Amino acid sequence: MVVLLPAVFGQKPPAKKTILVAADGSAQFKTVQDAIDSTPDGNVRIDIKPGEYRQVLTISANGVELRGLGKTPQDVVLVFDNTHTSAGGTGKSATVTVSGDDFHATNLTIANDFEKHHDRAEEGSQAVALHITGDREIFRRVRFLGYQDTLYADSKTCHAAGETGPCRASRQYFADCYIEGHVDFIFGDAKAVFDRCEIHGMAHPIVTITAQSRVRPDEDSGYLFRNCTITADPAVRDLLLGRPWRDYSTAVFVNTEFKGTLDPKGWMEWSGRLKTSDYAEYGSHGLAGDLTQRIAPSRQLTAADLVRYTAKVWLAGEDGWEPDRAP
């Protein structure tokens, strides 16, 4: 497996091989997975012609890029309908699973449409569109469609409180994306930034946007939302920013416009974990509710705090990664 490293002594990384996929059979490959499997060493750009591609995708190689060739992200749709029950676990239910590093996706849709076509059950209806655990991952103009547990933004390690040794969260960057769902629909323990994204609550009595799962106080993970817009179906009764899936859950919302009405308490308790979680906001506006009614110990940031909450700082890591400079 190829590991992509920064250029050394002025050398550029090797050029990516380009592969074309078309659902109508007019290209090198008819399915995206066949194109992925043809280049097990990675370092490849897979261009995808408009169409619906109904297949489970698994990407373990480094340096894979998926690029939709349609005019909009709606023109290229990667979709399946597995669930926790049918696949044998929430993580296994994903339409697209990415464990390779340096993955890029642009101008396409990743969806799990189980609940669109089947009755929802109280247990087992978790249906993931994307499960991603790789590091230095970038998504631009990508739509994530689903219901419960749409986007599993996760890491490869650090999942149990009793683990020892280094705990380096995977870093992921989402820009100008659309993400929809209802119960805990952005979840996991990645170190992720969401820039200028629309986050949409699907019809459900209670919508919890995040369930971030940082499990150790020394784990450098958390979700940062910057300049995003929150919308919601009119049938949503209580719209909340999130709840703590694990003891040290971390989520920060900066300059968020609420077009869906947020419950003034902002967040929800889960098994007493709020007391050790880190939930914060700055500049919430629109239908954000009365900020003085936010549930403790969530907090309001000051302008001076904002130097810590940029994509460059949040995602730098030990290698100084800057997603805006990525090729």
**Overall residue count recorded for the chain in this entry:** 327
**Helix, strand, coil content of the chain in percent (nearest 5):** 15, 35, 50
Q: Identify the CA nearest to 99 among candidates 1, 221, 219, 225.
A: 1
- Classify 121 as helix, strand or coil: coil
Whether 149 is a known active-site residue: answer yes
Judge residue 156's burial from the number of C-beta atoms within 10 Å of its C-beta, 0-12 exposed, 13-18 middle, 19 or more buried: middle
244 conformational bin, left if phi > 0, alpha if psi -120 to 50, beta if neither: beta
Helix (H) or strand (E) holding 84: helix 84-87
User: At which residue do the structure tokens 């699907």 appear?
Assistant: 202
For residue 92, the 8-state DSSP code is: G
The Cβ-side half-sphere exposure at 316, using a 13 Å CA radius, reads: 8
Residues 20, 95: Cα–Cα separation, whole Å: 20
Q: Give Cβ neighbours of residue 131 (< 8 Å, ≥ 6 apart).
A: 91, 94, 96, 97, 98, 152, 154
Q: Identify the CA nearest to 127 among candidates 187, 79, 83.
A: 83
Whether 113 is a known active-site residue: answer no
What single letter denotes the amino acid at residue 112?
N
Partners of 44 in beta bridges: 17, 64
Q: Are the C-beta atoms of 284 and 256 separated by less than 8 Å?
A: yes
Q: Which one is catalytic: 184, 195, 247, 263?
A: 184
For residue 16, the 8-state DSSP code is: P
- Classify 203 as helix, strand or coil: coil
Q: Which one is catalytic: 135, 149, 247, 263?
A: 149
Q: Are the C-beta atoms of 203 and 238 separated by less than 8 Å?
A: no
| Active site members | 149, 184
